[in-house]
Structure 1
């Protein structure tokens, strides 16, 4: 009998080795790559990140690389083709297009990042409160969102711009009022799916306050969708500002955003197409960069998505 027990309870030292040392090449698949590793495998996402960083650097240091300013006029040099002195040529008033394009990058990128910050603050707070409180509070808060959703965003912003008068400050205010709706809906749906999780119920049982549960425990678990939505909202804000400036509701002269430059270049497109090409390429490249990076970030933060 004793020999049987000894055989049943016999063991080797290796039986108590750490799990990490027992993982072989055949079982290494249990190690899931980190979001950064998944992002690095996506070439389009890395290309988009390089475009974004490059455009930010160009917006900061680009105007210093030229002796001209965005407002300098010289009618004797009007409508000159790209040359060694004027890399992108000059416009109808003799202003250097290169300086105006890189200066316009400051305005357009600042609009995108400010809109994303407003989107983050208002949308996250509003949506999380509505989703966590539920009941009448949720119906009232999301009813207001549904009403605002009934008005097209672009029309809504245009109406506000007419009331507030054109200008960069007016663009910030208009986007701040109307730009957080999608974020609020996404955060609300995430909070509603998390508020019955076991860790939330445990926190309630321990007497943790509602606001601590919401902002300390639940919102960090919504970080992925929040970051993705904010990243994809930046190119939309840039395009909205460019369109408003294109139709004359954006920044005022002599300031230059990409929309203003496109509006000026389209008037002389047949005779001097280079005046339109530069701002159009800047808008297109920047929007593609943010779109590529946002899509790659979504795949990296979602383990169900395969990196292609």
Structure 2
């Protein structure tokens, strides 16, 4: 039924196709390109699109198309890993807090309050400043920013589920708390977690690009859409395509992933309605 709803939603299909093409391009283009993302040719700087360089070259003579593809690969890798990590942490914390209640719930929710009290961007800057701006550290920073919201939502579902009749029946039949938590609570929360995770991918890509644009995310010469926007910004008046192209790709990717996330939410959660 959920899959049928997804197939009938044109925006979800469009978003999935566009996101799939961007992901495929980010994987395939670096494999077939004859250029390295870091290879410089100072005699070929600021070249317009040609047969040799389909999207031209930048201020170091690097192939823009190759760097865009590598940047997309990094953005998808970071966002996918960070969302998976904060989903696992958030689901574990939320289920534990909601099911056990009492002091455990109070302690975990106070921790989430601390994380939610910081503005996300400020928190990201703080964490990357402390840990460094390597790729694993960026993933850790994004996961630490995202898990608290997931935990709050999962906890609310767990609180409602633990009062349901099937949980009381399982407990009356002698089921242990561990079995109830895994078999009855967690299995019914996975849909909520999947919906939340699907909606988080786009914002996480934007957060990574923002960090890279500010110079505290992915570091040159490694490409990222945020890095390319930042580097092209210095030449915006004379060579606007260096900023416009990665900005457009970033925007298209976020919109496409948002369409997919909202489609999944509408298909899996009957309470969700796309506005």
Q: TM bucket by the smaller chain?
A: over 0.9
**1:53 counterpart SS class:** helix
The 5 Å alignment of 1:34-183 reads 34-183=1-150
Alignment RMSD, CA only?
1.4
Q: Give the aligned partner of residue 225 of structure 2.
A: 258
Q: How many residues align?
A: 275
The answer to whether residue 202 in structure 2 is matched with residue 235 in structure 1 is yes
Q: Distance in 1 between matches of 2:199 and 2:273?
A: 20
Aligned-partner SS, 2:112 = helix
- What is the Cα deviation at residue 112 of structure 1? 0.5
Give SS of 1:252's match: coil
Q: Work out the CA distance in 1 between the residues paired with 2:31 and 2:104.
A: 52
Given that residues 82 and 140 in structure 2 are in contact (C-alpha distance below 8 angstroms), is that contact kept between their aligned partners in structure 1? no
SS at the partner of 1:155? helix
Farther-moved stretch of structure 1 (217-226 vs 228-237): 217-226
Q: Which runs of 4+ in 1 moved over 4 A?
A: 304-308
Give distance in 2, aligned partners of 1:221 and 1:213. 11
Q: Could you tell me how far 1:303 is from its partner in structure 2?
A: 3.1
CA contact (8 A) 1:300 1:307 kept: no
Per-residue deviation at 1:305?
Answer: 5.4
In the alignment, is the contact (CA less than 8 A) between 2:262 and 2:274 conserved in 1?
A: no
TM-score by length of 2: 0.96
Larger Rg: 1
What CA distance in whole angstroms lies between the structure 1 residues aligned with 2:143 and 2:266? 28
Match of 2:179 among 212, 215, 218: 212
- The Cα of 1:262 is off from its aligned counterpart by 0.4
Whole-angstrom CA distance in 1 between matches of 2:217 and 2:272? 39
Structure 1, unpaired ranges of 5+: 1-33
Is 1:283 the counterpart of 2:253? The answer is no
Q: Secondary structure of the residue that 2:113 maps to in structure 1?
A: helix
Q: Please tell me whether the aligned partners of residues 19 and 257 of structure 2 are also in contact (alpha carbons under 8 angstroms).
A: yes
2:209, 2:225 within 8 Å by CA — same for their partners in 1?
yes
Q: Is the 8 A contact 1:244 1:250 kept in 2?
A: yes
